[in-house]
Amino acid sequence: MSMSEDPFVENCWYVAAWASDIKEGDKFKRVLLEKPVVIFKGESGRYIALEDRCCHRGAPLALGRIEGDCLRCMYHGMKYDHNGICVEIPGQDKISDVHRVHSYPIEERGGLLWIWMGDPDLADQQKILDFPYLSDPDWKGHTERSYLHYDANWMLIVDNLADFSHLAFVHTNTLGGSEDYASESKETVYKLEDGFRMERWHLRSAPAPFHKKVFPNGPDPVDRINDVTIRIPGVMFMETSFGPVGWNPEGDREGVIKYANCQFMTPETRSTTHFFWDYLHNYDSNIEDISASLKASLVAGFMEDKIFIEEQQKYLTQYGRFQPRGLASDRALAHYRNVWNKRLEAERLAYPSDNSPIKNAIL
């Protein structure tokens, strides 16, 4: 991926925020793909996402005032509707077609707000990568929606999630269990047009520490499977199951415990990332301590990853050219990057960069 050019695929749905982040009557601002965006809920109940820069002098619209389904810039009073079109300029009758800001399609699914950063005419809601467990009342996640901020490129996080061999060393005492997870697990990778699916079995192993905490009297050893799908632009769905030795996913699931995990990586800039996640279960759903324990274990695991990923970003940025040497365990992440680069190149050809000079630049 060339970092000298725009590194983002824009014609796809990204997670912008949890819906709970948007407080009634208030504005929520966030940088997405190096673009400032303001999100609010209009009087009609719809979510609205606009470019967070007034077209007049570039003042933040997040400092503005919500009026129905419109947002008024409180610098010079220009008022924009939900499509980003200026509908009122105080003291001026004529409003030109150029008096507008970009409006981004935005939709809610499972408590997440999905935003389309590219060509709005291509924003197909059917392509939102919904995680059905988030909307299923039988599955319980975190009481408060989870978010982390990484000082690292989102691709480094995707690489980390695509390579489960690191669990054996980074997460021995949290998510992994033992170092033999790297050498004694059986992995199958299925290549998809927009990412990959991976199955990784670990047989006759000690239960992972996070699972042992909530199921201290469960079988030991266990057969464990991680069924992972990662798709463009940075969406991971994982189903993890622990069961008695010899259990089969197609057969009797007596004694098998399943977890559902979703993680969403949205670039803030080419070197910082918004990370949204939840970890769900469908047993003892009225016991808050289980959700709290699972969240604490996952946060501990993510912090272990975060150290490596953010230091990796610093080294790649500060210390010049680096030629990576691949391993067999890289086949999933290598395929993902190949798919990404093809999508990125196709967009660059279809939407050439606008290098026209800016007239009457403010700065």
pLDDT for the residue numbered 65: 98
Residues 313 and 180 in one domain: yes
pLDDT for the residue numbered 5: 67
- Can you tell me whether residue 235 is helix, strand or coil? strand
Size of the chain, expressed as the number of residues it contains: 363
Q: What angle do CA 356, 16, 75 make, to 5 degrees?
A: 60
Can you read off the two tokens belonging to residue 7?
Answer: 């590194």
CATH value at residue 162: 3.90.380.10
CB atoms within 10 A of CB 60: 16
Query: Which structural domain, as residue segments, surrounds residue 229?
Result: 136-320+327-346
- Cβ pair 285, 138 in contact under 8 A: yes
Can you read off the two tokens belonging to residue 26?
Answer: 């208030």
Write phi, then psi, for 200 (nearest 5 degrees): -130, 115
Domain final residue pick, 127, 151, 178: 127
Residues 110 and 212 in one domain: no
Can you read off the two tokens belonging to residue 143?
Answer: 């009481």
Residues 210 and 340 in one domain: yes
Can you read off the two tokens belonging to residue 205?
Answer: 């192993």
> Looking at the domain assignment, is residue 93 inside a domain?
yes
> Looking at the domain assignment, is residue 25 inside a domain?
yes
Residues 245 and 146 in one domain: yes
Residues 108 and 182 in one domain: no
CATH value at residue 76: 2.102.10.10
Q: What letters, b where the CB count within 10 A reaches 16 and e where it falls short, cover 20-53?
A: eebeeeebbebebbebbbbbbbbeeeebbbbbbb
Can you read off the two tokens belonging to residue 282?
Answer: 């469908």
Residues 284 and 176 in one domain: yes
- How many domains in the chain? 2
Average model confidence (pLDDT) for the chain? 92
pLDDT for the residue numbered 3: 41
pLDDT for the residue numbered 164: 81
Q: What is the pLDDT of residues 200-224, one digit of tens each?
A: 999 999 999 899 988 888 899 999 9
Residues 243 and 201 in one domain: yes
Q: Which amino acid is at 149?
A: H
- Can you tell me whether residue 192 is helix, strand or coil? strand
Residues 154 and 284 in one domain: yes
Could you read off the pLDDT tens digit of each residue along the chain, which spans 363 residues?
344 467 999 999 999 999 999 999 999 999 999 999 999 999 999 999 999 999 999 999 999 999 999 999 999 999 999 999 999 999 999 999 999 999 999 999 999 999 999 999 999 999 999 999 999 999 999 888 899 999 999 999 999 999 888 877 888 778 876 777 777 788 899 999 999 999 999 999 999 989 998 888 889 999 999 999 999 999 999 999 999 999 988 877 888 999 999 999 999 999 999 999 999 999 876 666 888 899 999 999 999 999 999 999 999 999 989 999 988 889 999 999 999 999 999 999 999 888 889 988 898
Residues with Cβ within 8 Å of 262's Cβ and at least 6 positions away in sequence, in order, are 131, 133, 134, 235, 236, 237, 238, 277, 278, 280
Domain final residue pick, 66, 92, 127: 127
> Looking at the domain assignment, is residue 363 inside a domain?
no
> Looking at the domain assignment, is residue 7 inside a domain?
no
Residues 283 and 156 in one domain: yes
DSSP class of 361: -
Can you read off the two tokens belonging to residue 332?
Answer: 């999933």
pLDDT for the residue numbered 4: 45
Q: How far is CA 45 from CA 24, 216, 228, in A?
A: 10, 45, 35
Separation between Cα atoms, residue 184 and residue 161, nearest integer Å: 19
Residues 141 and 161 in one domain: yes
